[in-house]
Amino acid sequence: MLALASLEVAMFYSLVLATTLCMLLYMIWLGSKNEFTGRLATYVTIIALLANTVAIILRMITSGHPPLSNGYEFILTFVEGIMVVYLFAEFRYKLKSLGAFVMPIPFLLLMFIIMSMGPEERIAQAVPPALKSQWLTFHVLTAMFAYGAFAVSFGLGIMYLLKLSKENNGKKSSSQGIVSRFPTLDVLDELAYKVVGFAFPLLTLCIITGAIWANYAWGTYWSWDPKETWSLITWIIYAGYLHARLMYGWKGKRAAWMAVFGFAAVLFTFFGVNYLLPGLHSYAK
């Protein structure tokens, strides 16, 4: 077990190194138009995903339970979801420029671990009684892919706003050259809509399975715990995004800003609630 734990640590730092490198490579590719750099960025992202997957599997083997017992493990699953959804988007839509805006997110999440969590906080822990339910596994899996997809929609929203700003200004500059590598505004808007449309049902399932688990753990489906409340707020934001688009034709700038604000709510639900608002989910620190 000690050897497996050491290998997990090695995989974690391999993940950090690969994530840092792929983020930089995507940024360099965006500015240099060097196709070898772009291909290398994708390969290194795949390596980062593999390192994270191995780290999660090793944690499961050494702890004897899914990686759901503390903040370190939850962040690894968050990073996993972002990378899986991003790589799918890159290969499916040939959207390599998105990497420069999405990969900084897992990089910052990993930096949070390094800067804020000591080795003792990363050690596999016994599962609290409240976590001993298969419903929590489904709850976290749906959250992993929903949050990962929302991170991708955030990147698309930022790209849309940057491109719109440059086109409105009509200025030719190095920044305009970078923005010229983005897809058209219509493509960015449509892709963001598709990604949110994929993530929203998962977020809904996340909340439902969380409520079932809460009833199993604490005897109530809903207790207005801060995590529950902010999950609902996040759901309402994205429900508003989809409703406004389908019923009122909201597209473009307003939709992009909603994607950005929605992901800000995701981050607060993930971090702010755990560290600023005490509640039943305090074990996730």
Q: Which pLDDT tens digits describe the chain residue by residue (285 residues)?
A: 678 878 988 999 999 999 999 999 999 999 887 889 999 999 999 999 999 999 999 988 887 777 777 888 889 999 999 999 999 999 999 899 999 999 999 999 999 999 988 776 677 666 666 666 777 788 888 989 999 999 999 999 999 999 998 777 765 444 457 887 888 999 999 999 999 999 999 999 999 988 888 787 777 877 778 888 888 999 999 999 999 998 888 888 999 999 999 999 999 988 766 666 555 555 455
**CA pair distance 97, 162, nearest whole angstrom:** 13
What is the predicted pLDDT for the residue at 4?
A: 81
Domain boundaries, the chain: 1-127, 131-285
What is the predicted pLDDT for the residue at 87?
A: 97
Q: Which residues of 266-279 are buried (b: 16+ CB within 10 A; e: fewer)?
A: bbbbbbebbeeeeb
Q: Which residues of 62-77 are buried (b: 16+ CB within 10 A; e: fewer)?
A: bbebbbbbbbbbbbbb
What is the predicted pLDDT for the residue at 173?
A: 44
What is the predicted pLDDT for the residue at 135?
A: 76
Integer CA distances (angstroms), 124 to 27, 66, 280, in order: 35, 10, 20
Q: Is 278 left (phi over 0), alpha (psi -120 to 50) or beta?
A: beta
- Give the DSSP per-residue string, 120-174: HHHS--PPPGGG-SHHHHHHHHHHHHHHHHHHHHHHHHHHHHHHHHHHHHT--SH
